[in-house]
Structure 1
Amino acid sequence: MNKKLAAALSGGAVLVVAMSGCTSGSGEKEPDPKLVSWAKSVCDAVPPQDAKIRSANASIAAIATDTNLPPKSAQKTYAQAFQDMADGYKALADALDGAGAPPGIDGGAKLQQDASKNLAGLSTSYAELKKKVDGLDTKDQGKFARGLKEVASQSKEVGKQGESGTQALKRLEQDDVKKAMAKQPSCKVAASATAQPAGSATAG
C-alpha cells in the first residue's frame, strides 16, 4: 500500500525539473540583460527548494517498503515530507511572485502568474495532506493503514495538479526566458541534480 503512496508522491520533484532543465544553444542572440536579471532572481531560489522536495520524496521512498515500521514513525516521516514539500513549493511561488513578470515577454505577466498560482496551489495541497496524516489514528494499525490509503488517493490528485504545474512552468520557460535561465549557474546546479539516478538517496 505504501508503495502506492510513494509512487503518487514521486512526481513532486518533476515540477522543479521544469524550472531547472535549462540548456541553451551556442551562437544565439543574447537575451535582454533585464530578462537575465529576472531569470537570476527566479533560478537562485530553485536549488535549495529542489533539494528539499527531492529529500522529502526520498524519505517517503525509503519507508514505503518497510512493512514493520510502527505507525507513529511512519506518520512522523510522511508529515515531515509533506511539510517540506509545502514549504518548497511555497518558496518557489514566492520567488516567482517576487520576480514579477519577465521583462520584454509578450503575455509574460499571465504566464508568470499562472506558474506562480500552480506552485502556491501545490503548496496548499501538500499542507492539507500533512494535516490529514497528522490526524491519522496511530494506535490502531488497521485504521492507520486505511487512513494512509485515503492519503494515497488524495496524493494522486495532487500528482495530477503537479502535472498541470509543470505545463504552466514550461509555458513560461520558452524562447528568451529559457535562454536567460540557461545562463544561470543556479539553474544548472538544479539541472545536474536532476540528472542523478533516482533512489540514490534512499539506501539504508
Structure 2
Amino acid sequence: MNKKLVAALSGGSVLVMALSGCSSSSGGGGGDKGPDPKLVAWAKSVCDAVPAQDAKIKAANASIAAIATNSNLPPKSAQKTYSQAFQDMSDGYKALADALNGAGAPPGVGDGAKRQQDAAKNLAGLSASYAALKKKVDGLDTKDQGKFAKGLKDVAATQTREVGKQSESGTEALKRLEQGDVKKAMAEQASCKKAASSASAAPSSSAG
C-alpha cells in the first residue's frame, strides 16, 4: 500500500553514499602525490561520522519497508514504527550535518567554505523534513484503520515529495563539495569506503 513512501524514503541512502566521497567509485589517486595532509585530516573528521549514521538511516528504511505492505498491522503499531524510523532518519541526517559543520571548510579548496555550508544546510534540511514527517504521522488518527491508511497516503503524497526534493538537492550539493582533491581525500578514508561498499551492496530501490 505504501510502496510510494518506501521508494521516496530510500532516496536518503543514495545521499549517504554521495557523502562517502566514493559515489562514482574512483579507483584511487592516480600517479600524483595525493591530496594535502590537512585535507586528508578534514576528510577523516567528516567520514568518521558516516558509518554509524548510515547504519541508523538504513535500519530506519528497513523498518519502514518491512511494514509498508502490511495492511493488517494495527494503526498504533504502524504509527509507532513510522514515527521511530522518521526520528532516527532526522537524527542521522542532523548528525551528518553537524559533522560537516564541525569540520568546517575543506583546507586549500577554492570556494570550499560555500560548498561545505551548502552541503551541511541540505543535510540539516533533510533532517527537518523527516522531523516534519514524524510530526505528521504522530498526528494521524489511529482509532480507525481506514482513516489511518488514508492519512498515511496523504503523508506519503505530500511530505515524501519534499523529502525527495531535499534528497536530490542534497546529493547535488555533496557532489559539488566532493570534487577534485576533496573526493580523493575522502576516498582514502576507511570509514567512507565502508559506507560506500555497504551502500552499493544494498539492493537499490531508487525512485526517479
TM range (shorter): over 0.9
Q: Distance in 2 between matches of 1:14 and 1:78?
A: 20
Which residue in 2 is equivalent to 1:54? 58
SS in 2 for 1:168: helix
- Compute the displacement of 1:159 (Å): 1.1
Q: What is the RMSD of the two structures over their aligned residues, measured on CA atoms? A: 1.2
The answer to whether the aligner puts 1:180 opposite 2:181 as a matched pair is: no
Q: Contact 1:9/1:156 (CA < 8 Å) preserved in 2?
A: no
SS in 1 for 2:52: helix
How many pairs are equivalent?
Answer: 199
Select the residue among 80, 87, 99 that pairs with 2:84.
80
Structure 2 unmatched ranges of 5 or more:
none
- Compute the displacement of 1:149 (Å): 1.1
Which residue in 2 is equivalent to 1:202? none
* 1:33 partner amino acid: P
Q: Normalising by the residue count of structure 1, what TM-score does the alignment of the two structures yield?
A: 0.94
Q: Deviations over 1:78-132 (max 9, x none)?
A: 0011001000000000000000000000000000000000000110110011011
Q: Deviations over 1:26-76 (max 9, x none)?
A: 423310000000000000000000111111111111111111111111101
- Compute the displacement of 1:156 (Å): 2.1
Q: Distance in 2 between matches of 1:69 and 1:12?
A: 25
4+ long deviations beyond 6 Å: none
* 1:6 partner amino acid: V
Q: Distance in 2 between matches of 1:6 and 1:39?
A: 31
- Compute the displacement of 1:25 (Å): 3.7
- Compute the displacement of 1:7 (Å): 1.3
Q: Distance in 1 between matches of 2:143 and 2:9?
A: 25
Q: Distance in 1 between matches of 2:107 and 2:167?
A: 26
Q: Distance in 1 between matches of 2:66 and 2:111?
A: 42
Which residue in 1 is equivalent to 2:146? 142
| Identity in percent | 78
Q: Contact 2:60/2:85 (CA < 8 Å) preserved in 1?
A: yes
Q: Distance in 1 between matches of 2:55 and 2:106?
A: 25
